[in-house]
Chains A and B, each alone.
Chain A
Amino acid sequence: MKKARGLSERASDIVLVAITAVVLIIVAYPLYYVLIASVSDPYDVYAGKTFLFPSGFTLDGYAAVFQDPNIVSGFLNSVKYTVIGTVFSVTMLYITAYPMAQRDLPGRKFLSIFFLITMYFGGGLVPTYLVVKSTGLVGSMWSLFLPGGVAVGNMILVRNYFQNNIPKDLIEAARVDGCSKLGIFLRIVIPLSKPILAVMAVFSMVAYWNDWFTALIYLGGKGSPLPLVMRNILIKSSASASQAATISGGYAELNKLTELLKFCSMIVAAVPMLVVYPFVQKHFEKGFMAGAVKG
């Protein structure tokens, strides 16, 4: 049923649409720019010749990326690490944040500080490596998940969500009805906290998808995830360019490919995330601010 709309309402619609359109352009243009840059002559890109359309269309960059024999295994590894890592991280968040949300937890104050300290102080690369090594995890994929398993900042968000957004009366009622403590967690708390679950899933998904440094340090070149594979492609390309630069010449051409690869690898790395994102996004908008109130 259509309602008669006043002039002011229509005017405000126009303004709102205009504002969102501007915001959309601001957000989408950089992505679009990288996309057209990835198929343009890089020197044209630097000379400012690609504004709306590619200049000097080329697929050399993508050819170089997809010719690499490790790209498929890198992709599969990344998917594996992201799925396992996300499930693991979210589980860890829930089983730490839920107890921390109980006001009658013994030693709660001490535990909060204990967690908090790790947010501000780290051991540094070498000591962390030594710890991971002495636990025998070096070379195993678990070295990617276990050392940073609980993201404390996220844990605090989840804890706050539990405290503020799950009605105590509901839990009380469940208990009166004879539900066990585990039952309350599984049947009441988890279903009620789906928005924050989605947020946490996206946070850790993105983190695991983009992480290459941990893999570089602990995996020792075996089972490299996608970003590491692409980094190697880029390094190879720039290595051959710089070798040409010193003596043999031909730097300009090889350097072109290196610059092109930078844009291509951004696109290749970002597309899978862009595809997955909309599926989680509907939960996301509800949950994003939900746990943000601290206290």
Chain B
Amino acid sequence: MKQHWKRGLAASLTAVLLVSGLSGCSSGLVNNVNTGEINPNTEQTEFNIMGGISALSSGYENNEVLNALQENVGIKINWETMSDSLAEQVNIRITGGQYPDAFMGVGFSNYDLARYGDDGTFLDLTPYLTEDIMPNLCAILEEHPEIRAAITQEDGKIYGLPSGEQMTTAGIGADLDDAYSIYTIPQFSMINKAWLDELGLPVPTTLDELHDALKAFQENDMSHTYYGNAAGSTIPMSTGFDQWCWGQNIFYSGFGFTNWPNDVCNDLHLKSDGTVEFVCVSDAYRDCMDYFHTWFSEGLMDVEMFSQSDSQLMAKCQQGYVGVSTWWYIDELMGEYADDYVFLPPLSGPKGTQYEDVCEITIRPGSPITSGQLCITGKCQSPINLLKFFDQWYDGETMMQLHYGPIGVYFTGQDENDMWMSITDEEAKEKYGKSAGELRNQYETYGPKLILAEYYRDVFYMEPNAINRLTWLAEDWMPYVKDTSVYPVDCTFTSMEMETLDWHKPDFETAVREQEGLWLKNGGQGGGPITDEEWEEYKQFLVQKCGMDDLLQVYQAAYDRYTGAES
């Protein structure tokens, strides 16, 4: 009797699971709207849009720029916006079938786009990209075929409007064709020059010299003797571990590579001959790990480098504990001690090895062009009306106002080159009682903003800090870049390839990162150099358990297609 009852329960549970599983799939069978034909309906003039908003925004309802754009094309938009937990809420709405006419500022991945495009949740926009409906965007796509390539899915359809920010050295006068993104080199290393002077040491140019300098900082307890902090408080060098702008990666330059955290895949490197490789299995990488382990074991690198947050690093630096670190701006990291620090140029490798005189920085790609910021759904009756509204976003002056704030508020006037000038902090404080940044926060909209490099040259000026950073990048750091080949961030992948990436990439990146940390911290077996067996075992693990070869194959194939399409 009891047994029967249990079996019955198990059976009914299984049935419930099956049914729920099936209903999950069935949404793919409902009416697919993506037939490649245009929907000529123009009756709908009121639209619901759901999406992300800056936590600091004062809302889109009263945003004068957005309201003017709506008036221009005679539509009205009801906004439903949220500043956090957006992904959960959007997923719930899509699964529940209760979604709006469009999603704006959500940031769907290519994987999401393909999935929701396939089942008809998102509308294919290809037929609408015409001179009549979207003149501005069409002009841009005409001029920049690479943008069209980046937003086109593998099946030739486009499920979202392009967005991206090309903040490059073109904004400080470089030629458009060889301009570099502000993200090209994310870490600027810096060293305490006052300590060096006190000790009578030069600014290091090689890793050996830096080693000696760090050793001297440590032995003379510079934080104690020079700044009067507690005895033993000196941390010769403190950074994060594989962190974006505050990692240790810049110091690897002496071994001929810098493995930045990367939007495409960590440690992926494109050689100048067009083949891809992973630097984390190269011999240089192995030597690099051995080398820096000795630094770590001598106490030159911060023991907390693997666990600390950027706030903790900042706290240490602003107490004057730290001799060498990385960040974008010296004054921001070092606070009141900033005047004592100078940028530490990339260093060449240890003497007496094959890396003597080697000093190479591998560069990162800029930010990608994505198409997940504006997607129109199958619920929209008159896509034409809505797309006419969004076409206005692809005009330099309009985009600028959506990104920063309206002309007359954030932008005060044009100079003799017809470039818009933005409000200064003092003016903003006087007129609106808040800083220029706060003013901007209030107006910024999230959505399909395509900020082309040429806008910074032709339409408006960059913020002064961005100009500083780009200047340092161009003058102090780019000279150390010998090979500018970089894996293009806009490469598109087929759905099969995306499955492979989805499956292997997280494991691969985690495994490499963990092992990198262990080697830096503990070294090879028994604290010595990495042994041949360990190295083989590591490579085998990456190939067999983390799909390294599959990943390489996917990245190579996608790159070959990319270059084939461009030429």
Contact = CB atoms under 8 A, between A and B. Distances in A.
B205 interface: no
B56 A239 contact: yes
Contact of A251 (B316, B332, B441): B332
A250 B425 CA distance: 13
Contact of B311 (A42, A125, A133): A42
Interface stretch (A23-31, A71-79, A240-248): A240-248
A255 B311 contact: yes
B348 to A, nearest CB: 30
B55 A232 contact: yes
B82 A221 contact: yes
B85 A252 contact: no
A57 to B, nearest CB: 17
B83 interface: yes
B463 interface: yes
Interface in B313-347: 314-316, 318-319, 321, 329, 332-333, 335
A127 interface: yes
A45 B54 contact: no
A43 B437 contact: no
B96 interface: yes
Contact of A125 (B83, B88, B437): B88
Interface residues of B, number: 37
B312 interface: yes
B442 to A, nearest CB: 11
B85 A216 contact: yes
Nearest to B309: A46
Contacts of B182: 247
A130 interface: yes
Given A239-B54, A239-B56, A240-B56, A247 B315 contact: no
B91 A126 contact: yes
Contacts of A245: 245
A207 interface: no
A46 B315 contact: yes
B37 interface: no
Name B's interface SS.
helix
B315 A43 contact: yes
Interface in A255-292: 255, 258-259
Which of A42, A240, A249 is packed against the most chain B CB atoms within 10 Å? Answer: A249
A17 interface: no
Contacts of B96: 126, 129-130, 133
Contacts of B332: 249-252
Contacts of A21: none
A126 to B, nearest CB: 5
A43 B312 CA distance: 7
A239 B316 CA distance: 23
Nearest to A121: B13
A240 B311 contact: no
Contact of B310 (A49, A250, A255): A255
Contacts of B316: 46-47
A255 B317 CA distance: 14
Contacts of B518: none
B294 to A, nearest CB: 28
Question: In this complex, which of A42, A125, A245, A252 has the most chain B Cβ atoms within 10 angstroms of its Cβ?
Answer: A252
A217 interface: yes
Given A42-B311, A42-B315, A248-B465, A239 B83 contact: yes
B479 to A, nearest CB: 24
A18 interface: no
A235 interface: yes
A44 interface: yes
A120 B193 CA distance: 61
A222 interface: no
A221 B333 CA distance: 36
A139 to B, nearest CB: 13
Looking at chain A's contact residues, is the secondary structure mostly helix, strand, loop, or mixed? helix
Contacts of B318: 43, 252
Nearest to B321: A47
Nearest to B85: A216
B315 A235 contact: no
Contact of B329 (A46, A127, A133, A249): A249
B263 interface: no
Contacts of A259: 311
Contacts of A255: 310-311, 314
A217 B319 CA distance: 42
Contacts of A216: 85
Interface string B521-532: 000000000000
Contact of B335 (A42, A129, A252): A252
A60 to B, nearest CB: 15
A168 interface: no
Contact of B55 (A45, A221, A235): A235
A216 B88 CA distance: 11
A49 B315 CA distance: 11
Contact of A127 (B20, B83, B245): B20
Interface string B61-99: 000000000000000000000111100110110011010
Contacts of B312: 46
Contacts of B95: 126, 130
Contacts of B329: 249
Contacts of B179: none
B92 A129 contact: yes
A232 B182 CA distance: 30
Centre residue among A44, A49, A126 by max chain B CB count within 10 A? A126
A43 B83 contact: no
Interface in B258-316: 310-312, 314-316
Contact of B333 (A239, A243, A252, A258): A252
Contacts of B315: 42-47
A248 B311 CA distance: 18
A135 to B, nearest CB: 13
Contacts of A44: 315, 319
20 contacts: A43-B319, A44-B319, A45-B315, A47-B315, A47-B316, A125-B88, A126-B91, A126-B95, A127-B20, A133-B96, A235-B83, A236-B56, A239-B54, A239-B83, A240-B441, A243-B437, A248-B463, A249-B332, A251-B332, A252-B332
Given A49-B319, A248-B437, A249-B332, 19 more contacts: A44-B315, A46-B311, A126-B92, A129-B92, A129-B96, A133-B98, A217-B88, A232-B83, A235-B55, A235-B83, A236-B83, A239-B55, A244-B437, A247-B182, A247-B465, A249-B329, A249-B465, A250-B332, A258-B311
8 cross-chain pairs, A with B, having the tightest CB-CB distances, nearest first: A46-B315, A43-B315, A239-B55, A249-B465, A236-B55, A46-B312, A47-B315, A47-B319
